[in-house]
Structure 1
Amino acid sequence: MPHRLISPRTATSKELDSLVHVLDGADIIIHSLAGTITHWSIGAESLYGWTREEAVGEKVFELLATQYPNPRNEILEDLKTRGFWRGEIVHRHKSGHDIQVATRCVLVNLADGQPAVIQTNSDISALKKAEEAVRAREAHLSSILETVPDAMVVIDQKGIVMSFSKAAEKLFGMSAEQICGENVSNLMPSPYRDAHDDYINRYLETGEKRIIGYGRVVTGRRADGSLFPMELHVGEATFNGERIFTGFVRDLTSKIKIEEDLRQAQKMEAVGQLTGGLAHDFNNLLTVISGNLEMIEAKLQPGPLRDMLTEAQDAAADGAKLTGQLLAFGRRQPLSPKQVDLGQLITSFSDLLRRTLGENIRLSTVLSGSHLEAFVDASQLQNAILNIALNARDAMPKGGSLTTEISSVSLDADYAKMYPEVRSGNFILISVTDTGSGMTKEVKQRAIEPFFTTKQVGSGTGLGLSMVYGFVKQSGGHIQIYSEEDRGTTIRIYLPALSTPKSDLSAPDAEPAQAPLPQGSEHILIVEDDPRVRKVAVTRLRDMGYHVVEAADGAAALQILAKNQEIALLFSDIVLAGGMSGDEVAREARRQRPDLAVLFTSGYSEPALTSHEVIAGAQWLRKPYTARQLAERIRSLLDHG
């Protein structure tokens, strides 16, 4: 829109004198275009400290050390063209301090044809300070809201979202632009969504509180439709006569998972104590039974009765083996630990396993590194591996492969935080991986419970993995199960390592521990369905300087990849929830971006995974991994391809 031009008005010198006289209390300065002051009101004296006698005849921009928003010659041209100019400038008081001023200049023509400028000023210093204070408070509040881990959502009394913090964007998987102006019920699943507006209306009418002021556990809904438990705290305030509600939301997914793991560990501990006590008493009974049978047998001549006693003795022996397994689960079985080279022990045990498993199962053993020594009962460890191998054989009725890998690992504090039953330290890891049918989520959760079995009646006691669990716990270690249907199973046994040189427990190409971690600034996409593991990986990489984007499943990862061309590396778990595996995600990602670097991670054994023939150039990082191993592998891929 063009500026409206105002023709300069004509005024006599007397008229200007009268103007200043009538409005003497106002801040009025009259000067020539060159800036020479001709009139100086009492208001100007009060504002700037200069008397009329001191000011008249001086250059206004020199006397007041004027700071203009634009060059002075541009302002003069604007004044000549339009007939007026207004804006904010800074003047200097006689005492030396600055004054923020809102000014308006009007051009007039004197009777002798010379132009003059009538300038009126208003002191806005206090207003500017107040604005700066407000901006500072807003910046402070914004920094708090961006760093606080809890999400914040502000709604009006109609349920419309007014504000959506950065943490809320991350938690719900949507931007503030997408949700602001929409009803907050879009963040809730049914039936809570339909009932939400009724809750607010009932509260406004009756004062009956359902959530206001309370911390409650409710269910949230992300943009992708997935549901999650959350803790909600709601406060209220009144603004311009209307109520607004501020909700602080905390994701409870990780907390509930940790509590479930802890309850499961406590349950297994209680069951172990119970079964251990029962097995101990049952062993006493078997001792009496077996002893009396032996004495009777010694007094009988060969014949049918003696044969029946022999069968009874065999049954008592089987009962003794069963109670031995119960004692192992209950951690009351006496162990005879000694220093054992696990690599040598398991390698020599492979021949027995091969004969046990049969010819249709390929058996391989991989040793990674040296000093694979632990203080453990060798015979009980062999028995544990045999139980695992027999379960693997049953899961591969048509044949397959069984891989046992022994390596040194160091579990750091980050890993221990994710699993409450795990302690940090140096361990020898024994991974036994099969290519069988795998386990459902429900079976995996109950796999180590005593007497739980998926086999037919009479085909097993359900104590195999329970015995392994008890033995490992009694030996000071821990056990983890990685399994998915049709993806096979990996059983991982961690046994405390004997004191070993620190360098032997690191990756072969690791730098000294005191060396700084390799850094970077590239964009990395992390795909991990376990929120605790994902959070640790994201935090580690951001601490290393990388720009990190995260996804919980393959579909979300591919959507992110399509929109963000800056992503240089895909870091994905091989087994994901949501229908797509990590290698399927990587293949599709490589189809879109052939130059994309790919790093896989998994709790499965690496040799078993490599048989899946995943995409070329991909590298593997086995869980658990240290921050240094992650940093070095990332840099290796990004620097060398």
Structure 2
Amino acid sequence: MSRDQNLSGEERFSHSELRLRQITDTIPAHVGYFDHDWVFRYGNRRYAQWFGTTSEGMKDRSILEVIGQHVFDQVEDKVRRALAGEEVSYEYSMPGRDGSALYARSTLVPDFSPEGEVVGCYVHAVDITEQRRTQSALAQAQKMEAIGQLTGGLAHDFNNMLTVVMGNLQGLAEALADHPEAAAIAAEYVEPAMAAAEGGAGLVRRLLAFSRQQPIVPMVVEVNELVLGMARLIRRSLPNTINIATASRDVELHALVDPNQLESALLNLALNARDVMPNGGELRIECSLDCIDGAVAADLELASGCYVQIAVSDNGTGMDSATLTHVFEPFFTTKKFGLGSGLGMAMVYGFIKQSGGGVRIRSRQAVGTTVSLLLPCAPRSTLLRPVSQAAEAQPAKRLDGRLVMLVEDDDKVREVVRKQLSSLGCAVLEAESGHEAADMIENIPAIALVLSDIVMPGGMDGRALARFVRRFRPELPVVLMSGYAERTETGREDADVPMLDKPFTQERLVEVLHAAIT
């Protein structure tokens, strides 16, 4: 005879009820039941814990009492529909104990009496917080990648236009230099126009920093020393009502990063912190060695390991979850119109990601914000030269009389650069495509230098042309121009070809050409 058969009917019922409760408490779901009076009659352990109570604690309490006003406002209409006889599925959110958002997907199934009346509802819900975070991270990554690609294309065209503008302005100023009266009048108009064009070039550089296409010069940097130096500069930009403090958990922290870009990023973060502390507060910059792995590394799209962390914290107004989801997008700003470009955080994000690091941000309204920059470590004993550093300048050779092959598909840009080369005493051959240039290089031995745009139609771009020159005439210097800097893989045949970023001044053109022929 089995153990259950020895039990009375009431004992068997109690045993079955206990067994059923154990099952519902074990399954990975929120299970509950409320009646037509909107009162909970049952909730399993996971469901009760979700709302910070116990199964006994939620029994015989109203729905509003158990789930709170925030969730109740989201589900009230669904409960009414379910008690009217409709099976309803929906999602809702609620704040967690640490302030982060929690998400659940819930289904309400009406409980019908034998007479067909709804006497209550069964609740089945699951925690989808991690799923939503993963979806959000994927959507954000795809959006940022799309914006980055768009930025690169726009930068190419915009820099071509700025090259024409700046080249013609500089040519105008030089043409009028021998006529004092005309030169004075022209300067009144040319100089502001040139300054505006240079400002436009700076805007493009910040966009490229976001899209990770801005050239950087990483080297070994002692982060504590850099932060202390920046703290002195930042103090001058902060009102007396804001205190600045620095701290380090490690004596020496060496990161592989572009120091100029890092200083710019820290200044951006400090100015943002200043703006969210209008009544004063504290700005804290703390450096440490942070080792991450598993889910933390995956969320930051980083390999497991140790990174140099620079955490910039304020006790300002903080940000809500909606603002946090957009904070790294270019042109997104919470400042009043005209007080911010919305490129500061986008530049920080792009620079850190391009450097092989990650950015994490924590913020709570009325508490403050912490932005942590994670940078790749560099061996302490290794003193690296800048990745893209050219050899030290040697005495420049004259460009007079050299025959330069100018390759550019944009006729207006080609015209401006041709004039600049001619003013340097160069003879110029022009080509609209890589194939046209390759034919002339093959048949005209007098060509002494090749200056080519990178992005060109016709199947042979500037990099392919440079590789052709390397094989056919290895002694012939090549300089590449680009409206935006493409990242070059280490070990590529054309990795060490000098680059001239558009827009450029004639002085910069001379500098790069001299370096190429030295």
TM-score (norm: length of structure 1): 0.49
- The aligned residue for residue 550 of structure 1 is none
1:180–1:465: structure 2 CA closer, same or farther, 3 Å change rule? closer
Query: Which of 476, 492, 516 is the equivalent residue of 2:372?
Result: 492
Alignment correspondent of 1:230: 104
Task: Give the distance between the partners of 2:64 and 2:169, measured in 1 at CA.
Answer: 74
1:294 aligns with 2:175: no
Residue of structure 2 in register with 1:590 after alignment: none
1:381 Cα deviation from its structure 2 partner: 0.9
Cα deviation, residue 327, structure 1: 0.4
Matched, 1:217 2:100: no
Contact kept in structure 2, 1:276 and 1:331, CA below 8 Å = no
Give per-residue Cα distances to partners, 1:116-144, cap 9 Å, x unaligned. xxxxxxxx988228999988876665444
Distance 1:403 1:321 in 2: 29
Supply the distance in 1 between the matched residues of 2:3 and 2:324 (Cα, whole angstroms): 70
Partner of 1:323: 204
For 1:522-601, list aligned pairs within 5 A: none
Determine the C-alpha separation between the residues in 2 that align with 1:157 and 1:311. Answer: 75
Q: Is the Cα–Cα contact under 8 Å of residues 401 and 435 in structure 1 kept in the other structure?
A: yes
1:343 aligns with 2:224: yes
In 2, the alpha carbon distance for the partners of 1:129 and 1:372 equals 71
- Could you report, residue by residue, the CA deviation over 1:42-65 in whole angstroms, capped at 9, with x for unpaired residues? xxxxxxxxxxxxxxxxxxxxxxxx
Kindly state the Cα deviation for residue 384 of structure 1 after the two structures are TM-superposed. 0.9
Matches of 1:484 and 1:148 in 2, distance apart?
A: 34
Amino acid of the structure 1 residue aligned with 2:50:
L
Give secondary structure in 2 for the equivalent of 1:449: coil
In structure 2, what is the equivalent of residue 378 of structure 1?
A: 259
What CA distance in whole angstroms lies between the structure 2 residues aligned with 1:348 and 1:325? Answer: 23
Are 2:127 and 1:251 aligned? Answer: yes
Q: Which amino acid letter does the alignment assign opposite residue 274 of structure 2?
A: R
What is the TM-score with the length of structure 2 in the denominator?
0.59
Any idea what the Cα deviations from partners look like across 1:260-292, whole Å, max 9, x if unmatched? 344334323322322232123212221121112
Identify which of 234, 246, 271 aligns with 1:390.
Answer: 271
Q: Label 1:295 to 1:415 Cα distance change in 2 as closer, same or farther (>3 A).
A: same
In the alignment, what sits opposite 2:341?
461
Residues 162-193 of structure 1 show CA distances to partners (whole Å, capped at 9, x for unaligned) of: 54211122123344345445677876836854
Indicate the residue corresponding to 1:76 in structure 2: none
1:285 counterpart = 2:285:
no
Q: Note the C-alpha offset of 1:347.
A: 2.4
User: Quick check: 1:145 aligned with 2:18?
Assistant: no
Return the letter of the residue paired with 1:127.
Answer: Q
* 1:473 alignment partner, one of 334, 353, 360: 353
Once the two structures are TM-superposed, the CA of residue 335 in structure 1 deviates from its matched residue by: 1.6
Deviation at 1:338, TM superposition (A): 2.1
- 5+ residue gaps in structure 1? 1-99, 101-123, 203-208, 502-641
Paired residue type of 1:145: T
Deviation, 1:314, is 1.3
| Residue 5 of structure 2 is aligned to residue 127 of structure 1 | yes
Q: CA deviation at 1:364?
A: 3.0
Contact 2:224–2:248 (8 Å) recurs in 1: yes
Q: Give the Cα separation in 1 of the matches to 2:105 and 2:256.
A: 45
Question: Where do 1:345-360 residues align within 5 Å?
Answer: 345-357=226-238
Do the aligned residues in 2 keep the contact of 1:365 with 1:405 (CA within 8 Å)? yes
Aligned counterparts of 1:162 and 1:363: Cα–Cα separation in 2? 55
CA RMSD of aligned residues (A): 4.2
Counterpart check, 1:167 vs 2:46: yes
Q: Name the SS of the counterpart of 2:372 in structure 1.
A: strand
Q: Return the alpha-carbon distance in structure 2 between the equivalents of residues 413 and 483 of structure 1.
A: 23
Q: In the alignment, which residue of structure 1 is the partner of 2:55? A: 176
Taking the TM superposition and a 5 Å limit, the aligned residue runs for 1:88-127 are: 127=5
How far the C-alpha of 1:370 sits from its partner, in A, is 3.5
Is the CA contact (8 Å cut-off) linking 1:271 and 1:330 kept in structure 2? yes
What CA deviation, in whole Å up to 9, does each residue of 1:85-134 have, x standing for no partner? xxxxxxxxxxxxxxx8xxxxxxxxxxxxxxxxxxxxxxx98822899998
Q: Letter of the aligned partner of 2:143 in structure 1?
A: K
Q: State the match for 1:614 in structure 2.
A: none
Q: How far is 1:476 from its partner? A: 2.2
Q: Name the amino acid aligned to 2:135.
A: E
Aligned residues with identical type, % of pairs: 34
Compared CA separation, residues 162 and 370, structure 1 to 2 (3 A): same
* AA matched with 2:360: Q
Q: Identify unmatched segments of 5+ residues in structure 2.
A: 382-518
User: Which residue of structure 1 aligns with residue 292 of structure 2?
Assistant: 411
Matching residue of 2:194:
313
Q: Which residue of 2 aligns with 1:29?
A: none
TM-aligned CA deviation for residue 201 of structure 1: 5.6
Counterpart position of 2:146: 270
Is the alpha carbon distance of 1:435 and 1:234 closer, same or farther for their aligned partners in structure 2, counting shifts above 3 Å?
Answer: closer
